[in-house]
Chain A
Amino acid sequence: MGWWSDFKTGRELESARRDVARARSPYSISQFIDRCIDLQKLDVALEEAEKGLQEFPSSESLTEAFKKMIRAKCADDLKAFRDEVRKTPGPKAYYKLACLYKEMRDLDQAIELARKGAELYPTFEGNYIVLADIRYERFQRDLRASDGLQAVQLFEKAVDLNRENYRLLFQLAEIYQAIGAREHAIEKAKMILAFAPDDRRALKLLEDLEAQKGTKATDLKEILQDFERRAASGTVRKMGALVQRYLKAPDQLARKLVFLEKIPGFQRAIVLGPSGELLAGYPGGPDENRKVGEVLKRVFAAGIECSLRMDISTFEKGLFEGKDSYTCLVMADRLQIAVLCSSKAKREKILEEVHRFVEHELYI
C-alpha cells in the first residue's frame, strides 16, 4: 500500500474512533471493530475488542466481535492443530486443539475434544484442566454449587496426575480461597511449597490464608452450597454498572424506552430489576405495568431455571412468536427487559432494534 492509502486508512480510523468517543457503548465499539476489520487493521481491532470486553464483560456485540477476531487470528494454528490430531494424535495434540477452541469460544468443540483426549489418554492431566477451566468459568458466571463442585473435582483429578503443576495448584488454591474453603486452600499452598519452598507467591498465599477466617463446614459440597446461597442473596456478586445506574435512576430508564417505539407494531416495554421488581414501563401507568411485570417476572424465572437445569448456562434472551404477537425477553446486566410487539413487526427488525437498544441506548 502506498502512503496515500495509508493516509486515507488512518483518517478513516480516526473518524471511526471519534464516533466511538462521542457515544461509547458496546455497540459502537463493535461497529468500530468491524470498521477496523474492513480496513485490514486487525491488531487495532483485537486491542479494541479486548479493551471493550474488559469494560463491558457481558456484552453480546463485543463477545461476537472478539470471537471474530480470535478466529481470524488463529486460523493457521487451527489448521495445523487439526492436522496434528488427525495425523499424529497424542494427548498433547488433543489438549492443544481443545485449548484453541476454548480461546475461540467454541466451548462445545473444546469440551468434545478434551473429553475425547481424556478418554484416550487418561494419565495426561491437560485435558482435565481444559474441562475444569470451562466448568469453572461457568461457575464464575452462574455461581452454582454443582458447577463449582465439578470444576474442583476435575482440577483435583489433574492434580492427582501431576502433583507438581505449579499453575494448576495455585489456581486451585485460589479457587478454594474464593469460595471460603480455607483448609483445602492451605493444603494446596503447602503442596506448592513442598517442591518450591522459597516461592514468594505461595508463601504470601499461605500467610494470607492462615490469617483468614474459614467457614465451619469442611465438606466441599456444603461449602459450595453455602456459597451458592450467599450468591443468591446478592452478597457475593457485585452488580454491574448498568443495573446500578438504572436502579438509582429508573426515570431515566423509562425515558429511554421511548426509543423502542420505532419498531413497527411496538406495544409495550417493561424493565424489571434483578429481583423482578418493576423499574420502568412504557407506555401505561405504573399499576398497569406492575401487573404486566408480575406476569413477565414468572416467564423470566422459567427461562432462567430452564437454562440452568439444561446446563446451558445463563439465560440471555428469548423470543416468543405467536399468530398475532411477538414477545421478546432480554437479560442485560441482570436487568430483565421485555418488549411486546404485534404481528405487524418483522422478527428480524425486533431483534435488531432490541439488540441496539440494549447494547447502545442503555449505555449512553
Chain B
Amino acid sequence: MNVAERQATVMEKILEELNQVAGVKGSMVVTKDGVVVAEALGPDLQKDVVAAVSSHMIQMSERGLEELGRGMFERFVLTSAHGRMVFVNLDVGYLVVIIKMEMRLGQVLIEVESAARKIRGLNRRI
C-alpha cells in the first residue's frame, strides 16, 4: 500500500466515524476538480453525483467569491428544504458532509470541524 492509499484509508476511517454522528447521512473528501480522495456515503448517495455536484458548487463559489474580492471560503453551509450540506476547505481538497434537515446544526458542525482537523493533521504528517 503506497502513501496515498494509506492516507485515503485513514481518511475513510475518519469519515466513517463522522457518519456515526446523529444526522450525518454521508461524507466525502473531494478535490476542487471532483476527484474523490476518500468517501463514506450512505446507501442513498451516489459517489459520482456527490463528487460532481460538490465540485461544481465549490468551483462556482470560489470563482464568484474571488471576483468579489472576498477570498476563498473556509466553510460553506448550504441549507435546502430537505437537507443540508457542509463544505470545509482542507487546503488540499474539501470535506463535504451531507446532513439531515432535522438535526441541530451546531452540534454537527463541531463534529465536522473536528473531522476536518484530523484530516488536515493527516496531510501534515505524511
Contacts and interface: CB of A to CB of B under 8 A. Distances in A.
A298 B64 contact: yes
A322 B82 contact: no
Contacts of B81: 138, 141, 307, 312-314, 316
Given A108-B101, A108-B102, A316 B80 contact: yes
A306 B82 contact: no
Contacts of B60: 298-299, 301-302
In order of increasing CB-CB distance, the 3 nearest A-B pairs are A312-B83, A302-B60, A313-B81
Interface stretch (B12-20, B66-74, B114-122): B66-74
A320 B65 contact: yes
Contacts of A9: none
B70 A325 contact: yes
Nearest to B102: A106
24 contacts: A107-B82, A108-B83, A296-B68, A298-B60, A298-B64, A299-B64, A302-B56, A302-B60, A305-B53, A305-B56, A306-B57, A306-B85, A307-B80, A310-B83, A310-B98, A312-B85, A313-B81, A314-B80, A315-B79, A320-B70, A322-B71, A322-B74, A324-B71, A340-B70
Interface in B35-59: 49-50, 52-54, 56-57
A319 to B, nearest CB: 5
A321 B79 contact: no
A295 B71 contact: no
A106 B82 CA distance: 9
Given A295-B64, A298-B64, A309-B49, A325 B71 contact: yes
A303 interface: yes
A327 interface: yes
B75 interface: yes
A138 B102 CA distance: 17
Contacts of A24: none
A108 B80 contact: no
Interface residues of A, number: 36
A293 to B, nearest CB: 11
Interface in B73-119: 73-85, 98, 100-102
A295 B62 CA distance: 11
Contacts of A325: 70-71
A334 interface: no
B61 interface: yes
Nearest to A67: B102
B90 to A, nearest CB: 14
A327 B102 contact: no
Nearest to B87: A320
A58 to B, nearest CB: 9
A360 B50 CA distance: 35
A323 B75 CA distance: 10
Contact of B80 (A106, A299, A315, A321): A315
A292 interface: yes
Interface string A325-338: 10100000000000
Nearest to A304: B80
A256 interface: no
B74 A306 contact: no
A240 B71 CA distance: 35
A317 interface: yes
B85 A310 contact: yes
A264 interface: no
Contacts of A310: 49-50, 53, 80, 83, 85, 98
A318 interface: yes
B82 A321 contact: no
A171 interface: no
Most buried by A among B53, B73, B79, B100: B79
A109 interface: yes
B19 to A, nearest CB: 14
B76 A318 contact: yes
Most buried by A among B52, B64, B82: B82
Contacts of B53: 305-306, 309-310
A296 to B, nearest CB: 7
A319 B77 contact: yes
A305 B58 CA distance: 12
B72 A322 contact: yes
Most buried by B among A298, A312, A316: A312
Contacts of B52: 309
B30 to A, nearest CB: 13
B70 A327 contact: yes
A305 B79 CA distance: 13
